[in-house]
A and B are shown apart, each in its own frame.
Chain A
Amino acid sequence: MTTTTGPGLAGVPLSLTPLNRKDFVSDQEVRWCPGCGDYAVLATFQGLMPQLGIRRENTVIVSGIGCSSRFPYYVDTYGMHSIHGRAPAIATGIAMTRPDLAVWVVTGDGDALSIGGNHLVHALRRNVNITIMLFNNRIYGLTKGQYSPTSEQGKVTKSTPVGSVDRPFNPVSLALGAEATFVARTVDSHRAHLTEVLSAAITHRGAALVEIYQNCPIFNDGAFDSLKGADGGLIPLRHGEPVIFGPDNARCVVRGPDGSLRVAYVEDVDPAEVLVHDAHADDPGLAFALSRLTDTADLVTAPIGIFRDVERPTYDDLARDQLTVQTDPGERITSLQKLIAGGDTWTV
């Protein structure tokens, strides 16, 4: 059996014939609202899959509940549209029992961070070999517009008519707090960036969390417009490169004497002060500090790209390594017969 080079897909058989985008388009009519950011992610995903070179039938997509969780229906691989919040748990059972599958989880901000928060942090903590696409539109769409755990404080919705009072999660900070081995953020409309990040995520061996900023034109239109200011709000992160961003790369991230990070104008600082991104640092501290540059309220700046990408043995590999699997059915029965008799028998 041949395999791809990415360790995340080691064990997943390669396709014997080249595949193309159409091979990953199912016969189901896509039913998201016009203008929904999910369309762009779906198209990008369907464009990425053939490039991975793995067999179509060895791909599984598991989703929870919400608009984005309809995703598996539209991709012609194996898939399960499950129940609210539980996709990471279901994917864990799949990844543990089938190392020959590429396992994707599709989830949203309500699904992953509210009802399914426990499963998300534990899948990340364990480092199960799954890739999680978290579509963050900062709103409940399918239930028609209630505030979500990533909505900014003060959000006025039908369930919070005078403004929400609870602080939002920063999904990247949360994932890093769970010591996830791969944490990234990208944007629905940046096709090249999305492709690059998803490709890195699936070839990473271990739990990968990719937060995707995704616009909901119906209930939270323009949720990320604040990042499109004249000064440029998105801060691209590239391993080994200085963190500079904005029009003409005029701005940068610098580390202060106390280790904290701040945004500055390049012209105002010594070039040696500009932070050089290290996604492979074993300590998640720097990645966490970068994640805090995301202002979850007004959202004027947000780093995108791979915050953290480190190697650590996966839960499923370690669990399988403890086992002896008997492949011969006869031998399996014979040894089980001996096991159930135990050591303390008597014969009548």
Chain B
Amino acid sequence: MTEVTTVDHVVIRFAGDSGDGMQLTGDRFTHDTAVAGNDFSTLPNFPAEIRAPAGTVAGVSSFQLHFADFDIRTPGDRPDVLVAMNPAALKANLGDLPRGGLIIADTADFTPRNLAKVGYAADPLTDGSLSDYQVHALDLSGQASAAVAALGLGRKEAARTKNMYALGLLDWLYGRPTENTIAFLETKFATAPQIRDANIAALKAGYAFGETTEVFTNRYKVAPAPVPSGTYRQISGNRALAYGLMAGAAKAGLQLFLGAYPITPASDVLHHLAAAKAAGVLTFQAEDEIAAVGAALGASFAGQLGVTTTSGPGLALKMETIGLAVMLELPLVICDIQRAGPATGMPTKTEQADLTQALFGRHGEAPLPVIAPQSPGDCFTAAYEAVKLAVDYRTPVILLSDGYLANGAEPWAVPDLASLPPIDPAFATEPNRPDGEFWPYLRDDKLARAWAVPGTPGLEHRIGGIEKADGTGAVSYDPANHEFMVQLRQRKVEGIASVVPDVVVDDPSGQARILVLGWGSTYGPISAAARRVRGSGRNVATAHVRHLNPLPANLGEVLRSYQRVLVPEMNLGQLAMVLRAKYLVDVQPYSRVRGLPISLSELAADLNELIDLTEEES
């Protein structure tokens, strides 16, 4: 008889060859988990090569899912369960699996040839080398093929249903409902009934295999997580970002115009917005990154909302145009979905090393607001805020997401659009001078300039990249005027601090001497690590910076009130450098640049050490 063990959280990693459908399997298990009411966080991890040579370590694609009965912050460092579809997947992922972990391996692909390909002299499933793990070596491909035999598929096609068979087995093991995945398969393969039926049959067979055989002595139960009431959906960062941009444009009453050039990991934003034609979104796949931002700036000049999406290499190419946008003082939203650099770097891997590029990467004094979301769902809110800042202040805004947020997913409470703050483009429609003239560089109390769009009679004017005379916007080479304008543009952006919320410190005991400060996607690992540290009875404070420019007004005071400040970043200490320069506080960088989110267990261990050290000091 199978026993049911209740656990509070589980991390599962599905791993296989790039063509094995691991991303789809993980995505569907996530959906099934969402329906079960758990909190979850996901980490897709795939090679840049679309189809690396089959069976090689380079071609391994994986999808990790962490789900729990409580509010979780990361996709987890180390899986409890590894589903390995071939020897390469086992080889590439075994190192992350703790002793005692569960391995479900598809024996069909453990052929001498495949074993040799990744350097296994003997079959690890049978040679005893995995004796420290709970190994379930099953012929998933064979069993899936048998389950769909009656449907008349070819041998290869039949074996391809092994991922759904594995999903069915995992659904049984963790008590996930399969109805949604069945409905999904019915829609996805509506035009290919044979494939549809085969996938559904394999899914059901996998579930039934768990239920009827006694291969597994334990099933696991993860209770639903308590969350605020509301309507939820699963959302990835890139989708949330696209929706946030659409919501901002809709609330501002502007057409959303996206100029973009395909680049990993930002292309999905282009895809989501290109699919939104029924919502009036205009997308332009440009000839290059420069044209993409140029066209977006043109759309803004024309009185719409110009947006461009890219990754680090593309941001570098766009910089001259962004500098022009700083000079023109027009709204423009630039989304950089950061990836590991420099140069091509590791396109499918995450990093946060574009912060200094975003802050300082333009020639001349070219300040602009920079904002970073902290989780996949938060990409919506950050994008909306970027639109609002761009429109309110007539400025380009850079949003820094990253590959982990872009492709990761979490449950998301669908926001009520009516309750979002209004965005008013407040176009100039009348002359703004007593003599009936229109001066495009007259400013409101926020220092935002008048925005008159073509088609408005009587307000015809010319703007350009040459320095502007204060007020009139006429070409000016006057030294004093240039200095004044440089400072004025700086003051305008600094003034945004008045609408930037204070940084909030989480220090439950009030006794912490160490503050861990994060930005962007490090929010998850930092808060999870702090929870672990506090769980062992120690004190640590955390805070998160969402606005990288201007920084929150109270930040200096917060930094100075702790004995130590640690700033974990997926770069070599870029925010730490800014904080040290701006506040003269001895901020300590904590750098990890492995193309992966910062490990919460490693960070927790390091924090414990640092706490010990700090206590010894005082």
Q: Closest approach, in angstroms, between the C-beta of B264 and any C-beta of chain A? A: 21
7 A–B contact pairs at CB < 8 A?
A55-B457, A57-B456, A73-B475, A90-B294, A90-B298, A97-B282, A348-B229
| CB neighbors of A among B409-467 (8 A) | 414-418, 454-466
Known A-B contacts A79-B462, A81-B462, A346-B35; the reply to A98 vs B294 at CB < 8 A is no
Known A-B contacts A118-B291, A332-B250, A348-B228; the reply to A93 vs B297 at CB < 8 A is yes
| CB neighbors of A among B501-551 (8 A) | none
Known A-B contacts A57-B455, A324-B277; the reply to A345 vs B231 at CB < 8 A is yes
Q: Is the CB of B279 within 8 A of A335?
A: yes
Q: Is the CB of B328 within 8 A of A83?
A: no
Binary CB contact string for chain B from 222 to 234 against chain A (1 if under 8 A, 0 otherwise): 0000011111111
| CB neighbors of A among B301-327 (8 A) | 301-304, 306, 320-321, 324
Q: Is the CB of B298 within 8 A of A93?
A: yes
A162 an interface residue at 8 Å Cβ cutoff?
Answer: no
Which of B255, B301, B466 meets A325, CB within 8 Å? B255
Closest to A327 in B: B280
A322 an interface residue at 8 Å Cβ cutoff?
Answer: yes
B201 an interface residue at 8 Å Cβ cutoff?
Answer: no
Distance of A81 Cα from B473 Cα, bound (Å): 12
Q: Is the CB of B299 within 8 A of A97?
A: yes
A249 an interface residue at 8 Å Cβ cutoff?
Answer: no
CB-CB under 8 A from B458, the residues of chain A are: 57
Q: Closest approach, in angstroms, between the C-beta of B205 and any C-beta of chain A? A: 24
A38 an interface residue at 8 Å Cβ cutoff?
Answer: no
Binary CB contact string for chain A from 55 to 70 against chain B (1 if under 8 A, 0 otherwise): 1111110100100000
A143 an interface residue at 8 Å Cβ cutoff?
Answer: no
A339 an interface residue at 8 Å Cβ cutoff?
Answer: yes
Q: Is the CB of A323 within 8 A of B277?
A: yes
CB-CB under 8 A from B291, the residues of chain A are: 86, 89, 92, 118-119, 122
Binary CB contact string for chain B from 263 to 292 against chain A (1 if under 8 A, 0 otherwise): 000000000000011111110101110111
B26 an interface residue at 8 Å Cβ cutoff?
Answer: no
Majority SS at the chain B contact face:
mixed
Q: Is the CB of B227 within 8 A of A93?
A: no
Distance of A98 Cα from B453 Cα, bound (Å): 10
Q: Is the CB of A339 within 8 A of B276?
A: yes
Known A-B contacts A119-B287, A348-B230; the reply to A82 vs B464 at CB < 8 A is yes
Distance of A265 Cα from B318 Cα, bound (Å): 54
Q: Is the CB of A101 within 8 A of B475?
A: no
CB-CB under 8 A from A341, the residues of chain B are: 231, 233, 414
Q: Is the CB of B282 within 8 A of A346?
A: no
- Number of residues of chain A lying within 8 A (CB) of chain B: 58
Q: Closest approach, in angstroms, between the C-beta of B218 and any C-beta of chain A? A: 27
Chain B, interface size category, equals 35 or more
Q: Is the CB of A57 within 8 A of B459?
A: yes
| CB neighbors of A among B214-266 (8 A) | 227-234, 243, 246-247, 250-251, 253, 255, 257, 259
B180 an interface residue at 8 Å Cβ cutoff?
Answer: yes
Closest to A126 in B: B287
Q: Is the CB of A58 within 8 A of B231?
A: no
B369 an interface residue at 8 Å Cβ cutoff?
Answer: no
Q: Is the CB of A89 within 8 A of B295?
A: yes
CB-CB under 8 A from A326, the residues of chain B are: 279-280
Q: Which of B37, B298, B301 has the most CB of A within 10 A?
A: B298
Closest to A23 in B: B460
Distance of A96 Cα from B257 Cα, bound (Å): 9
Q: Closest approach, in angstroms, between the C-beta of A320 and any C-beta of chain B? A: 7
Known A-B contacts A28-B474, A79-B462, A320-B282; the reply to A345 vs B414 at CB < 8 A is yes
Q: Closest approach, in angstroms, between the C-beta of A158 and any C-beta of chain B? A: 24
B160 an interface residue at 8 Å Cβ cutoff?
Answer: no
Q: Is the CB of A93 within 8 A of B257?
A: yes
B296 an interface residue at 8 Å Cβ cutoff?
Answer: yes
Distance of A97 Cα from B259 Cα, bound (Å): 12
Q: Is the CB of B298 within 8 A of A340?
A: no
CB-CB under 8 A from A340, the residues of chain B are: 243, 246-247, 380, 414-415, 417
Distance of A140 Cα from B262 Cα, bound (Å): 34
B31 an interface residue at 8 Å Cβ cutoff?
Answer: yes
B335 an interface residue at 8 Å Cβ cutoff?
Answer: no
CB-CB under 8 A from B233, the residues of chain A are: 341-342, 344-346
Q: Which of B292, B320, B418, B455 has the most CB of A within 10 A?
A: B455
Q: Closest approach, in angstroms, between the C-beta of A126 and any C-beta of chain B? A: 9
Q: Closest approach, in angstroms, between the C-beta of A273 and any C-beta of chain B? A: 42
Q: Is the CB of B303 within 8 A of A98?
A: yes
| CB neighbors of B among A62-117 (8 A) | 62, 65, 72-73, 76-83, 86, 89-98, 100-101
Contacts A77-B460, A83-B320, A97-B298 given; 10 further ones with Cβ under 8 A? A57-B459, A86-B294, A89-B295, A92-B294, A93-B259, A98-B454, A323-B280, A339-B279, A340-B246, A344-B233
Q: Is the CB of A93 within 8 A of B464?
A: no
Which of A93, A95, A322 meets B277, CB within 8 Å? A322
CB-CB under 8 A from A323, the residues of chain B are: 277-278, 280-282
Q: Is the CB of B454 within 8 A of A78?
A: yes
CB-CB under 8 A from A80, the residues of chain B are: 301, 328, 462-464
8 smallest beta-carbon distances between A and B, as pairs:
A93-B298, A81-B464, A89-B294, A93-B295, A89-B291, A90-B298, A79-B462, A78-B454
Q: Is the CB of A336 within 8 A of B286?
A: no
| CB neighbors of B among A231-259 (8 A) | none
Q: Closest approach, in angstroms, between the C-beta of A277 and any C-beta of chain B? A: 32
Q: Is the CB of B276 within 8 A of A97?
A: no
Distance of A52 Cα from B591 Cα, bound (Å): 63
| CB neighbors of B among A296-348 (8 A) | 319-320, 322-326, 329, 332-333, 335-337, 339-342, 344-348
Distance of A42 Cα from B464 Cα, bound (Å): 19
A26 an interface residue at 8 Å Cβ cutoff?
Answer: yes
Which of B231, B250, B474 meets A333, CB within 8 Å? B250
B579 an interface residue at 8 Å Cβ cutoff?
Answer: no
CB-CB under 8 A from A77, the residues of chain B are: 460
Closest to B274 in A: A322
Q: Which of B253, B299, B380 has the most CB of A within 10 A?
A: B299
Q: Is the CB of A89 within 8 A of B298?
A: yes
Closest to B292 in A: A89
Known A-B contacts A93-B295, A341-B233, A345-B231; the reply to A336 vs B463 at CB < 8 A is no
Binary CB contact string for chain B from 465 to 483 against chain A (1 if under 8 A, 0 otherwise): 1100000001100000000
Q: Is the CB of A86 within 8 A of B462?
A: no
Distance of A86 Cα from B278 Cα, bound (Å): 30
B493 an interface residue at 8 Å Cβ cutoff?
Answer: no
Distance of A55 Cα from B320 Cα, bound (Å): 33
Q: Is the CB of B455 within 8 A of A98?
A: yes
Q: Closest approach, in angstroms, between the C-beta of A256 and any C-beta of chain B? A: 37
B353 an interface residue at 8 Å Cβ cutoff?
Answer: no
Q: Closest approach, in angstroms, between the C-beta of B356 and any C-beta of chain A? A: 23
B34 an interface residue at 8 Å Cβ cutoff?
Answer: yes
CB-CB under 8 A from B455, the residues of chain A are: 55, 57-58, 98, 100-101
Binary CB contact string for chain A from 195 to 226 against chain B (1 if under 8 A, 0 otherwise): 00000000000000000000000000000000
Q: Closest approach, in angstroms, between the C-beta of B425 and any C-beta of chain A? A: 12
Distance of A122 Cα from B287 Cα, bound (Å): 7
CB-CB under 8 A from A336, the residues of chain B are: 246-247, 250, 279, 417
CB-CB under 8 A from A325, the residues of chain B are: 255, 280
Distance of A319 Cα from B257 Cα, bound (Å): 12
Known A-B contacts A80-B463, A333-B418; the reply to A97 vs B34 at CB < 8 A is no
CB-CB under 8 A from A79, the residues of chain B are: 461-464
Which of B37, B243, B250, B290 meets A348, CB within 8 Å? B37
CB-CB under 8 A from B278, the residues of chain A are: 323-324, 335
Known A-B contacts A93-B306, A322-B277, A348-B227; the reply to A119 vs B294 at CB < 8 A is yes
Distance of A59 Cα from B231 Cα, bound (Å): 48
CB-CB under 8 A from A95, the residues of chain B are: 298
CB-CB under 8 A from A78, the residues of chain B are: 454, 460-462
Which of A81, A96, A322, A335 meets B465, CB within 8 Å? A81
Q: Closest approach, in angstroms, between the C-beta of A43 and any C-beta of chain B? A: 18
